[in-house]
Amino acid sequence: MRRLDRHSVRRTAMLAAAALLTGLLPLASAHAAESDDPAPVPVDRFEGEVPFAGQPADGIFTWGGDSDDPPTLQLAARDDAPEGDKILSGTYDISGYGGFTHDFAADLPAHDWSAHGGIRFWWDGQNTAKKIAFEIKDGGANGEASELWTTSFADDFSGWKQIEIPFSDFTYRTDYQPVGGIDQVLGLTQMWGYAVTLPVGAPGRFAMDDVELYGKADQSLRASVTTGAPVYPVDEGGTASVKVTVATTGAAPIDEPVTVAYETAGGTAGAGTDYTPVSGTLTFPAGTASGTSRTVQVRTLKDKAAEAAETIPLKLTVTGAKAPTTPPQVVINAHGLPYLDAKLPVKKRVADLLSRMTLAEKIGQTTQAERAAITDTGDISSYGLGSLLSGGGSTPTPNTAEAWAKMVDSFQLDARASRFQIPLIYGVDAVHGHNNLVGATIMPHNIGIGATRDPQLAEKTGSVTASEVRATGPQWDFAPCVCVSRDERWGRSYESYGEDPALVESLETVIQGLQGAADGSDLDRKDKVVATAKHFVGDGGTTYGSSTTGTYTLDQGVTTVTREQLDAIHLAPYQDAVDRGVGTVMPSYSSLDIVGDGKGAVKMHARADMITGVLKQKMGFDGFVISDYNALDQLPGDRAAQTEAAVNAGVDMVMVPYAYKDYIAALTGDVAAGGVSTARIDDAVSRILTQKFKLGLFEHPYTDTSEASRIGSAAHRAVARQAAAESQVLLKNQGGVLPLKKNQKVYVAGSNADDIGNQTGGWTVTWQGSSGAITDGTTILQGMRDAAPNATIDYSKDASADTSGYDVGVVVVGETPYAEGIGDVGNGNDLVLTAADRAAVDTVCGAMKCAVLVVSGRPQLVGDQLGGIDALVASWLPGTEGDGVADVLYGKRAFTGQLPVTWPKSEAQIPINVGDSAYDPQYPYGWGLTTLSRAPEGGAATLAALGVAAKAAERLKADAAGRAAVTRARLIVQQKVGQNITEAVSKPFADADHLLLTGKYGAAVTKLIAAYRAA
């Protein structure tokens, strides 16, 4: 028999269909008139009209948890294609997660899907019985900054099948949102595409065709009824006015009537005794404008008894539109109880409140959830949650100070529906300014602050950060990191002030900047927040290759130390933090292996000997311990075992971003089974409530936005500018290239000269940060132009422009942003400049005198190019104020920064730290040239005299005089050494800086004399 080609088959089928259609035409026409459905709208035909490409282009692209997880994709011709000639097909073998996405072009308007009832496509079933997730992207700036709505279908069939999914089937995704979620409303008017998540566990193949929108929009999906708020608190005897509003996507008038029947029913308040019951029906006729409101009033009654809060739910039955996600409820405020009396001591208020709470209420207080996980805001009161957080990049839309305050206050309002109206404490990772907020003042990362050696400045940066954070709602900052970074390959090394515990301790003044007085008496101020010392303990000392987290090499690995090393290096900063009254402490993801204790490597979240025994009992920490993000998942056993281990170890509040219900159930079961005592729960809750009372949250739960005008203000940016300037470390300055002169013609090159995203680094707007103009501020290039407005300053990123005719070149090179283990060396990162940056250095420095600025979170290995570089500056990650870098480049301020970490010659030397027995770096710890107007004078005799003065200052406890003597001695030594930095020079030189920080001024100068003699 002759094989028919597919076009012949299709033609025959079309003729048969046409004949059938002719016979049914009157019926079909009548049906079409009745349904009035819009014509289907193609999304993807897979004929090549949409390329394989990523944003900002319109394109299809793959993704996955690691390099093996993204599927393969191809547009393949298939005889049985349901539509057209080609289909999208591929293969996969996924161990973590993987799939593909079609994002619409980010530089064009989003698509409007609101006229349709759903989305459909053809799927070539393989009968695997596995679930395949399908999600659509709603709102936001683009397809990768949108809100994800998800559903799934089962591959339980063979061959082609058209999958139809009504938009009403999609639910808000709670395990991940790229921007932390937006408004949790599927608007359908600003759609950015779709994504398919493929099944894991076994190799497979798939094929897909003809994605299109179908059907007519259902008003009940397009129209919704909302209330002005989910909770209406009112003092006893007052009247609550509940606003009921009808609205539509696209703001079109409703085309069918909407009715809302209401009645007060249920709750803890008594009808007739605590309030006057109400019932009735509100009607919104067809044609009612979107946004129209009606009001229901609920009057409460007054008695003389002191009471906890009482609830009056307002039941709404909606016809013709979506009902509110959370029905509103009126709440009669708690009153007359001792814990509400602000005149009582905090300790008495805590004891009174604790005595009234049930076990469920106590466990709720130990729970912290991610704000994007709260799809039902009623969970805040029903579970009695103690805290919410915004993880890195989890922001409101728009990302403004006003939206932040509104968001935090809305959650705080939800907490008013709980029995004792215990306010939430809201936390953010403001690790170098309020870095999640666009437009905030972004400070240099901690490694740059370490280079300043300026405790007063560190305190100022904390004050600015606290002011900007509190003005937007959060009252709790997961900072500072007081880790001691001992290996620059660590992806968090820039979060450390340095490799010397003495340096870290000296800059913990930032805690006073954040919190104010050590006794916590300033925490109720509108410009202070609770601080967090992290990550307890040893996170900066993990061994390379010891991490078992994904592809990380150092982060979350194992720190192996003797007891003496642990005490001297990693624990030392925590005692200082405790003495400064730090309100919270966060354990590390890493494990601790103390040589000789017989325990082996144990995750810090399970080390009771350290959290309870050392931190709480030995050090006297009286704040509360908060776990790290999902950290309990890394402990052995099931959820119950993990929870029991952490809570018994001394963790008081558990950060379970999306699994708060599972955690609450597990801890409840642990207590019932006797695995966790009620005394342990009471201790944890007492510590948490104490901080809430100190913050004044019971009296003022909502945000005081009066300081919001100072966010990103000139005064705040002046502090960041000073910090950026003082953080610059001049490593080499041959021929006095720096400072620049304002009449010089300057050639600027390099990847980081004009990129504010690169100069702010990770933890900026998003968790990992990103390159480009991501927030407000001044790049280094713009700062230079501001500093010398009449000078010729030309920029060529890759140094491809003509280099002739310039007096000096400035090449700004370094790293692109990363955070945590993503930035570990060996995990796709190294300590070597990119080929483009190296070429820019060679080109510019080969053509003229040049200064090279390294913008990075850690030292970069530049030894092989150092001979051709006249001036070398470690710029670290200076933040948003590039003007501060320009201030020292042009001599408005002198270079005064010193290395907070050792600058190695090669990666083979790492780890290399001050105090090592073998110590031969490129530049030693503490190194930093100066451009003071007068170079320090003197030789051996001067150094001897400075030694005498330093010893006298030490004896008299004249710290300022002692530091001044050591500083002058250091500058004299550096002047003699030049670039002839040998091991004999480096070791005593670095030791001297450590001794200076510990107040041993005489010994410091003695070490510097040894370095001088070795030069």
Distance CA 92, CA 392 (A): 31
Q: What's the full length of the chain, in residues?
A: 1015
Joined tokens for residue 536 = 């307890």
Cβ burial 41-61 (10 Å sphere, 16+ → b, else e): eebbbbbeebeeebbebbbbb
The catalytic residue among 468, 820, 824, 993 is: 820
Q: Which residue has the tokens 């005299």?
A: 945
- Cα within 13 Å of Cα(743), Cβ side: 0
Judged by DSSP in three states, 428 sits in strand
Q: Which residues contact 522 (CB under 8 A, 6 or more apart)?
A: 515, 516, 528
Contact 84, 210 (CB under 8 A): yes
Cis peptide before 739 (omega within 30 of 0): yes
Return d(Cα 238, Cα 275) in angstroms, integer: 10
Q: At what angle do helices 714-727 and 882-889 cross, to 10 degrees?
A: 50
Q: Angle 75-76-82 (CA atoms, 0-180°, nearest 5)? A: 100
What sign results for the dihedral spanned by CA atoms 375, 380, 383, 386? positive
Does residue 820 carry a catalytic annotation? yes
Separation in Å, CA 828 to CA 551, 553, 821: 9, 10, 10
One-letter amino acid identity for 346?
Answer: V
Using alpha carbons, list the distances in angstroms from residue 649 to 610, 627, 660, 986: 8, 11, 19, 42
Please work out, in degrees rounded to the nearest 5, the angle formed at the alpha carbon of residue 670 by the alpha carbons of 666 and 674.
170
- Among residues 431, 430, 456, the alpha carbon closest in space to that of 719 is found at 456
Identify whether the C-beta of residue 111 lies closer than 8 Å to the C-beta of residue 84: no
Q: Is the dihedral of CA 436, 521, 572, 996 positive or negative?
A: positive
Exactly one of 555, 628, 755, 954 is catalytic; name it.
Answer: 628
User: Residues 688, 365: contact at Cβ < 8 Å?
Assistant: yes
Return the sign of the alpha-carbon dihedral for residues 728, 534, 776, 488: positive
Q: Which residues contact 25 (CB under 8 A, 6 or more apart)?
A: none
Identify each DSSP E strand in 805-933 by its residue range.
808-814, 850-855, 871-876
555 catalytic per annotation = no
Q: Is the peptide bond before 324 cis (omega within 30 degrees of 0)?
A: no
Tokens 């005089």, residue located: 961
Structure tokens at 79: 């005889």
At 489, list the tokens.
Answer: 């390959």
128, with CB counted inside 10 A (0-12, 13-18, 19+), is middle
CB 80 within 8 A of CB 202: no
What amino acid positions are annotated as catalytic residues? Answer: 628, 820
